[in-house]
Chain A
Amino acid sequence: MSVDVQERRKFTAALLGDEAAPPPSDPSPQVVRGVALHVTAHMLTVATPKGEERFLFERTTAFWRGRDVGPQEIRVGDDVLVRCGGGGRWVVDRLWAQLGRITGTIVSADGDTVVVDPGHGRPPATAVIPYRSSGRMSVRHPVLEPGYLFDAVGVREGGTVQTTVPATTQPPHPVSRAPRRPPVRRVPRALSGIVSWYDPAYGRAAHTDPRAHAPGAAYPALDPGSDCGPDCDRSDPCLPLPLLSLGATVGVRNDDTGVAGVFPVLNCASAASRFCDRCRDGTGDASGRLAELTLPAFVALGGRPEAGCFAATMEAG
């Protein structure tokens, strides 16, 4: 059964105050997602929910498709995520194509193919580690055995993700032997940790699927009494995150860029609850995942999806 997240937020604000449930931020007009229709060295045409939109490239525009590439590597039909620069919606600052991410617990591994369980409500995902990335991947993910965690970013191809960039350093123990969170006396109003991203649309129909465009968050501490029911397989996160439900809003600030936003909780981040990692490229010292943002929300806060995460401060509950 679906949940009316807007109704929940409205009632929460009515009873507990607007501070407890602030209204979500508007989607950033500078972040666009859609399907590439036409690409030249200087221009990109994208099918978006608004129709066909055209964008210009600058000499400084960066392109990513599994690695840093040129505009010629972007193909027609690619799922593209565009961040515009200059305060407008015309010039592309950075473009990512066919972004995919596999996060969760390894179910099976056979050669270069790893099947991962992303947790509550998400189908199993298959990662293929290309030969040219195997060295880099094996440094960060030395144990590709069932029960160990896996988190890597790559390019979606034919239902799998060619994982080219490890998004974390794999914990040296299987999930079943993860350390428990030390008890705390109080929950701070602002929690420090890292924020990662996920794609509820799985890269499909990025021009029409509302899930591809919704700015929102998956939260790793959903209430076991309501939304995270018997089917929920989340762990107790290593951060003292207050129990919330779908429809709650969380304020997230990117500590690297200072950009902040308020996002509704749209999903369970079961896999994120098992990670207690730091951001490899981030400035923060805190470890543990606060939330998984959807791709548009993550990029709107200045995150680089290929890095996988950014250090963040979150206010929730």
Chain B
Amino acid sequence: MTLVEELIRIQPPVVALLLLLGAAAKAADRSGAGGPVRLLPGALQRPASAATALLEAVLGAVLLLTAGTAGTAAGWAAAVLFGGAAVLLAVVRRRDPQMGCGCFGGLSTEPVGWRTIARAAVLAAAASGAAVAGGGGLQVLLGLTGTQAALGAVELGVLVALSPELREAALRVLGREPCALRPVPVRRTLARLHTSDVWRANQVVVEGRGPVDVWRHGCWRLLRFSGHRNGRPVDAVFAVEVRGRRPRVRAAVSDAETGVTLAVLGEVAAEGGAPLPRTQGGAPQATGTVVPTGARVVDGPRVPRARHGGAGKKDPDGRAGEEGADGRPSGANAESGAGPVRPT
């Protein structure tokens, strides 16, 4: 048997595999990534998508399970399906350049490109081969020779190279999108903040039950609290990274009246707001001075509680503190997840 004959022989299982995968993906994620069905009127799009998935499943099953006339007919039908898809995808690409092909349901959000169109053309040729072979994909798989396996692997490699969906599937399965794009509830950010050392070290200056302003900057969420420090009103601003269970947290305390930054990450600035230690990128350098030296007990009566203006004990930085009855982070309002700031 020549290589061409071997190649034709393995087409039924290869085409059946692609047809069944396409049908399964369409059935699993019907969010609709687009494709040729988008050329139809709105009311017909969903039924057409379902009918396509059903047709693919039937053709795949016939190519896999039956040989002879039925297998040949299924092969030619698949060739027409893929050939028509290649033409229609070119039309979709011209009409709506941002539309996905919908070949694998919601996984096909990548705009239709030449790779997708080429894949449909390759599959049309493969389906023609499956028609010539007369179906019977399961029998071929059971009697697979080494040459056929190698040829099948090469063909699948070509199809993989022409499939942008694999990258999308890998991104979905292996990792999430970058933190800068990920919506994160304010409630979760507050929870992360309240369990951080930076919060515990600066909690004494914070008053009020929730942040007075919340905003987002890419991978960071910033929360501004009002408070008092050494009898003067201050703004305590915390930056919390929105990724991970123990994210990086930074804090800055600035005088509410003069705007002078008094401390960043617990580092006390010189009189008049002299420059703080910075990295080359301009970000504040972590000094490590924020880690509280006392017991790290979150619950229970021995946790220091903020009492601004009171006569409590003072720590070496001049922060007021007192042994309180309740050391829980002040997040009752914040737990609602509703920041008080809304756009104009």
Interface residues of chain A, those whose CB is within 8 Å of chain B, are 1-4, 7-8, 10-21, 120-121, 171-174, 177-187, 222-229, 231, 238, 240-248, 267-268, 276, 287, 316-317
Contact = CB atoms under 8 A, between A and B. Distances in A.
Contacts of A246: 215, 343
B175 A185 contact: yes
Given A225-B186, A226-B215, A247-B215, A14 B254 contact: yes
Nearest to B224: A11
Given A14-B237, A19-B281, A227-B343, A182 B42 contact: no
Contact of A1 (B189, B217, B224, B342): B342
B217 A226 contact: no
A243 B100 CA distance: 24
Among A179, A180, A231, A287, the most chain B Cβ lie within 10 Å of the Cβ of A179
Contacts of B217: 12, 16, 20-21, 244-245, 248, 317
B149 to A, nearest CB: 32
Given A231-B342, A244-B218, 9 more contacts: A11-B252, A15-B250, A15-B283, A17-B281, A173-B96, A182-B100, A182-B110, A225-B216, A248-B217
11 contacts: A7-B224, A10-B259, A12-B215, A15-B220, A16-B283, A18-B282, A180-B100, A180-B106, A180-B109, A184-B171, A225-B184
Interface in B237-276: 237, 239, 250-252, 254, 259, 261, 264
A180 B33 contact: yes
Contacts of A4: 213
B177 A226 contact: no
B187 to A, nearest CB: 9
Nearest to B279: A17
A227 B339 CA distance: 9
A interface, over-half SS? loop
A142 to B, nearest CB: 12
Interface in B182-204: 182-186, 189
A8 B33 contact: no
Contacts of A8: 213, 215, 222
Among A120, A177, A226, A231, the most chain B Cβ lie within 10 Å of the Cβ of A226
Contacts of A228: 343
B180 interface: yes
The 5 closest A-B pairs by CB, nearest first: A317-B218, A17-B282, A223-B216, A245-B215, A17-B283
B261 A179 contact: no
Contact of A225 (B109, B214, B218): B214
Interface string B151-173: 00000000000001000100110
Contacts of A21: 217
A245 B96 contact: no
A247 B214 CA distance: 11
B145 to A, nearest CB: 39
Contacts of A222: 343
B218 A242 contact: yes
A1 B340 contact: yes
Given A3-B344, A182-B109, A185-B175, A15 B339 contact: no
Nearest to A236: B181
B56 interface: no
B343 A171 contact: no
B183 A243 contact: yes
A191 to B, nearest CB: 11
B170 to A, nearest CB: 9
A185 B282 contact: no
Nearest to A21: B217
B181 A242 contact: yes
